[in-house]
A and B are shown apart, each in its own frame.
Chain A
Amino acid sequence: GQNIDQPTEMTATEGAIVQINCTYQTSGFNGLFWYQQHAGEAPTFLSYNVLDGLEEKGRFSSFLSRSKGYSYLLLKELQMKDSASYLCVLMDSNYQLIWGAGTKLIIKP
């Protein structure tokens, strides 16, 4: 079966850098996604990795290692508005999305 693990909660300081890790087990793989969800709001798409390596998009970067079943989301120059939950999402061999429970990121001034 499939399984996704990510920390439940993390705290970081405004202006700093934070890395949110995600590990997964799956028999088939078609990509890994990160979504952001502010409290009381809908999830929104952040990034997509299907090949190993780092994808950079502004202050956010996402990394994937398929052999290790590992991804991380890196957020730089943290701002208060980055306080949100970050969802790690796996696309399996049938192109179905498997959602992690999310990491709640708390940013302190």
Chain B
Amino acid sequence: DVKVTQSSRYLVKRTGEKVFLECVQDMDHENMFWYRQDPGLGLRLIYFSYDVKMKEKGDIPEGYSVSREKKERFSLILESASTNQTSMYLCASSVADRTTGELFFGEGSRLTVL
């Protein structure tokens, strides 16, 4: 069964802490994405990557960075967490063909910043 696995389902952090969210996929997909999902809003793209060591900013990259050292792993980093980063974070992957809109999502990481 193909899977996208996110390291933590629930995290509670304090303002100013550094936060790492890990995502691993076992489908050999080239494309990986980080979204955040907030009530009443559509998913918003933070960063994406089409290849190892490659990253591109999405719609809301401020306050975030990413790392893709291996094809199967895409990490989201919050250098200094703030309360407005309290959200559900969703990692997704897809095949190389960018015309394909079928994404495979992880279960999500719900982050609370106090």
Residues of chain A having any CB pair with chain B under 8 Å: 4, 8, 30-31, 33, 40-45, 48, 87, 89, 91, 95-102
B43, B101, B103, most chain A CB atoms within 10 A: B101
Known contacts: A41-B107, A42-B107. The answer to whether A101 contacts B102 by CB under 8 A is no
Q: Which residues of B contact A40 (CB under 8 A)?
A: 108
Complex contact B98–A95 (CB within 8 A): yes
Known contacts: A100-B42, A101-B41. The answer to whether A43 contacts B105 by CB under 8 A is yes
Q: Shortest beta-carbon distance, A67 to chain B, in Å?
A: 21
Complex contact A31–B101 (CB within 8 A): yes
Residues of chain B having any CB pair with chain A under 8 Å: 4, 35, 40-45, 90, 98-99, 101-108
Q: Which residues of A contact B40 (CB under 8 A)?
A: 8, 101
Docked Cα-Cα span, A100 to B40, in Å, equals 9
Known contacts: A98-B42, A100-B42, A102-B42. The answer to whether A45 contacts B99 by CB under 8 A is no
Docked Cα-Cα span, A88 to B42, in Å, equals 9
Docked Cα-Cα span, A91 to B100, in Å, equals 9
Docked Cα-Cα span, A53 to B104, in Å, equals 26
Q: Shortest beta-carbon distance, B34 to chain A, in Å?
A: 13
Complex contact A42–B108 (CB within 8 A): yes
Q: Which residues of B contact A102 (CB under 8 A)?
A: 42
Q: Which residues of A contact B43 (CB under 8 A)?
A: 43, 87, 97, 99
